Amino acid sequence: MSHASATRAVFEEIIELINQGEVRTAIETCEATLERYPRDVNILGLLGVIYLKQNRPGEAERYLRQTIALAPSFAKPHEDLGILMLEQERGEEAVALLEKAARLDPASESALFNLGKARVLIGKGKEADDAFEAAFALSPTRKLLADAARLHADGNMGEAERLYRQVLDADPENVNALRMLAMIAASANHPEDAERLLRRAVSIAPDYFTAQVDLGRIYKEQDRYEEAMACFRKAIELEPNNAKPWFLLAGTLAPAALTEQAAEAYQRCIELRPDHAGAWLGLGHTLKTIGKQEEGIAAYRRCIELKPDNGETYWSLANLKTFRFSDEELQQMEARLASGQVEHPSSEVNFMFALAKAHEDREDHDTAWEWYLRGNARQRELVSYDPVHLQVTHDALLKVFDAGFFAEHANQGCDDPAPIFILGLPRSGSTLLEQIIASHSMVEGTSELPYLAQVASSLNRNRADGINYPQAALELGPENFRQLGEDYLALTQMHRTEGTPRFIDKMPNNFANVGLLHLILPRAKIIDARRHPLDACLGNFRQLYAKGQNFSYDLQEIGEYYLEYQRLMDAWQERLPGKILTVQYEENVADNENQVRRILEFCELPWEDSCLKFYETERPVRTASSEQVRQPIYSGSVNYWKRYQDKLDELCEVLAPIRHRYRHLE
């Protein structure tokens, strides 16, 4: 029986819309066409496939069943519906549909391959092998891919790579081989190669959901937030009801300091998957950041219900600073660790730090110290840090950025006065300084931005001669310094949402790159957040970082790191007199108003009383000190090291060369 149907041109128009990524418009065109031609099997089937790819199973099933009812001899809708049943683990239905698809089109290797997967799902191993072999006979490329994937899963990366490349020799546009090669490159720490392969895959197949997600991950790992967000948003457009891209988008928005948007994305992920423990944890982080502590605690508790062996959730609660565990919760944490059932080492570390903080809050410092020692020792095993390499790097920086080099290139950078940099050792009062300055009407706090380091590393690109930063800076001229400053400002633009003339970048590790910073942004203000070395070092030893700061898990290495920090800051002060304002945490606490006046004067900002009432300022605060800066200034953290004085002999010995400079603060 024939049915009135749309023209071929309409069908091809919809296909073109899909290829261009305009999925919503494609759906609207399908629906409009079906109003006129409600029994057009091509449009019905196509709309079913679109909904299938968008992870909208209800609509997909409805339209595909309509298509099958109108065209029972068409193989494709049977196969598409069979794939949907397979995804929903409705194995028996999937097998029946895919067997019929294979009968209707014996040359469809994809129907046979998916039939094999469906038979595996219902436990028919021999019949599954028969289907796979039939598919491989029709498509040798499919067999090569399957063999490569098996080798890949077994960890035989070299042989897997060889087979993936063999597939691409025969079919240069095989997007699955491109994606899997990219995954091998990523695992080998070659993000540039992974990016190139994934970009090729999505250019060939813009609707390739998994490749879009993987490309977004590659960007996110490099702190290329805008590009990562674009990929995850594209993935959401392709599959709006899939929780994964919403979770990944939220996890990118959060470090990009777009906290409110991150919370919304986590909540959307939870709507789609209420049992997503990672989303509940991320939501807890974002709610804490925007000052909604009770809601954040509730999210953390829900995460514990879903995943009780995840130590990160317990450490997140402990890291609220104002939270206190009950006796029962303390016993639960100790029991989980003692059971040996915590699978991941990083989760063990989180439990150890949470227990340390819990005992510390009870002023049981001896027990707390034992847990800190265990947690730090375990974490040190998991991270990579080379103090000798750090010293060599600092030597190179000081050799390049000397007084003569500064004089030669004075005022050659971008003259925009917008940035205020707060840097120094972590746990030295930088969050307090940021909160004070960001309480000014002319300043926006944008958190810890990774872009100065990115600008520095950009000097390493396309160098075949092996000369990298900082030596590469010797070849730069006025135009280069100006462009690098503009590059930095362009990267920060996405974080500047309030329209203020000034903004704060409080990445502490920027202290090493003060030389480059001064040359590319000569009018930027630089504030060194300084704290007594014993308090600063102990503060780092008591802190478990989500990533980075790998120097902080060994007392001797922390002390040596502080010496390096002191060495660099002394050099910058000597070579750039008047460029850097040092704010001593203890003096800021003891004489806050005069210190605030000094800071605002240095930043060339008019006085505003709001900077003294910084604790009333409502803004996201992403660091471990988020709750402290939401209350008036207090002195409880000054000389905190004395609580552990009898345990710090090793650290005191390391810091002996400089400790005399801070005796007046003890």
Residue 206: both structure tokens together: 């813009």
CA separation for the pair 322, 159 (Å, rounded): 53
Task: Look up the CATH number of domain 387-461+468-665.
Answer: 3.40.50.300
Closest CA to 349 of 383, 311, 313: 311
Which residues are CB-contacts of 581 (< 8 A; sequence separation ≥ 6)? 525, 526, 527, 528, 598, 599, 602
Looking at per-residue pLDDT, the higher value among 218 and 633 belongs to 218
**CA separation (Å) from 620 to 261, 281, 314?**
12, 17, 22
Average pLDDT over residues 380-407: 96
CA separation for the pair 415, 521 (Å, rounded): 6
Give residue 182's pLDDT.
Answer: 95
Average pLDDT over residues 636-662: 95
Give residue 652's pLDDT.
Answer: 97
pLDDT band per the 50, 70, 90 thresholds, residue 628: low
pLDDT tens per residue, range 261-273: 999 999 999 999 9
CA separation for the pair 325, 315 (Å, rounded): 11
- Residues 420-454 as b/e (b if ≥16 CB within 10 A, e otherwise) read bbbbbbbbbbbbbbbbbbbbbeebbbbbbbbbbbe
pLDDT tens per residue, range 548-592: 899 999 999 999 999 999 999 999 999 999 999 999 999 999 999
- Do residues 518 and 536 touch, judged by C-beta distance below 8 A? no
Residue 166: both structure tokens together: 């063999």
Looking at per-residue pLDDT, the higher value among 462 and 258 belongs to 258
Domain 8-187 has CATH 1.25.40.10: yes
Average pLDDT over residues 637-661: 96
Comparing 2-16, 224-238, 375-389, 515-529, which segment has the lowest mean pLDDT? Answer: 2-16
Give residue 291's pLDDT.
Answer: 83
- Do residues 373 and 356 touch, judged by C-beta distance below 8 A? no
CA 525 distance to own-chain centroid: 28
pLDDT band per the 50, 70, 90 thresholds, residue 1: very low
pLDDT band per the 50, 70, 90 thresholds, residue 251: very high
CA separation for the pair 29, 35 (Å, rounded): 10
Element (H, E) at 643: none
Q: In terms of DSSP H, where are the helices of 88-156?
A: 91-104, 109-121, 125-138, 140-153
Q: What is the residue extent of each domain of the chain? A: 8-187, 387-461+468-665
Residue 438: both structure tokens together: 């960001």
Give residue 634's pLDDT.
Answer: 73
Which residue pairs from 88-95 have beta carbons closer than 8 angstroms and sit at least 24 positions apart in sequence? 88/57, 89/121, 91/118, 91/121, 91/122, 92/122, 94/118, 94/121, 95/119, 95/122, 95/124
Could you say which DSSP state residue 628 is in?
G
pLDDT tens per residue, range 56-101: 899 999 999 999 999 999 999 999 999 999 989 999 999 999 999 9
Looking at per-residue pLDDT, the higher value among 289 and 250 belongs to 250
Is the pLDDT score of 488 beyond 50? yes
- Do residues 595 and 588 touch, judged by C-beta distance below 8 A? yes
- Residues 514-525 as b/e (b if ≥16 CB within 10 A, e otherwise) read bbbbbbbbbebb
> Is the link from the previous residue into 57 a cis peptide, with omega within 30 of 0?
no
pLDDT band per the 50, 70, 90 thresholds, residue 616: confident
Q: Which residue has the tokens 């810890």?
A: 448
CA separation for the pair 286, 263 (Å, rounded): 6
CA separation for the pair 500, 442 (Å, rounded): 5
Q: What dihedral do alpha carbons 621, 625, 628, 630 form, nearest 10°?
A: 0
Is the pLDDT score of 18 beyond 90? no
Average pLDDT over residues 649-660: 97
Closest CA to 502 of 427, 439, 561, 551: 439
Is the pLDDT score of 621 beyond 60? no
Average pLDDT over residues 365-380: 97
Give residue 141's pLDDT.
Answer: 82
**φ, ψ dihedrals at 193, nearest 5°:** -65, -40
Looking at per-residue pLDDT, the higher value among 644 and 619 belongs to 644
Residue 638: both structure tokens together: 């000054």
pLDDT tens per residue, range 134-176: 888 887 888 888 888 888 988 899 999 999 999 899 889 999 9
Give residue 463's pLDDT.
Answer: 61
Task: Compute the residue count for the chain.
Answer: 666
Q: Which residue has the tokens 């194995």?
A: 91
Give residue 432's pLDDT.
Answer: 92
Average pLDDT over residues 425-441: 94
Give residue 630's pLDDT.
Answer: 54
Give residue 107's pLDDT.
Answer: 87
CA angle at 17 for the pair 13 and 18, rounded to the nearest 5°: 120
Q: What is the bridge-based pairing of β-strands 525-530 and 443-445?
A: unpaired
User: What percentage of the chain carries pLDDT values higher than 70?
Assistant: 97
Rounded to two decimals, the pTM is 0.80
Average pLDDT over residues 100-129: 91
Give residue 135's pLDDT.
Answer: 83
402 dihedral zone (left: phi>0; alpha: psi -120 to 50; beta): beta
Could you say which DSSP state residue 447 is in?
-
Give me the chain's average pLDDT, please: 92
User: What percentage of the chain carries pLDDT values higher than 90?
Assistant: 74
**φ, ψ dihedrals at 51, nearest 5°:** -65, -35
Which residues are CB-contacts of 661 (< 8 A; sequence separation ≥ 6)? none
Count of alpha carbons within 13 angstroms of residue 35, beta-carbon side: 5
pLDDT tens per residue, range 275-310: 999 999 999 999 988 888 899 999 999 999 999 999
Residue 240: both structure tokens together: 């709006």
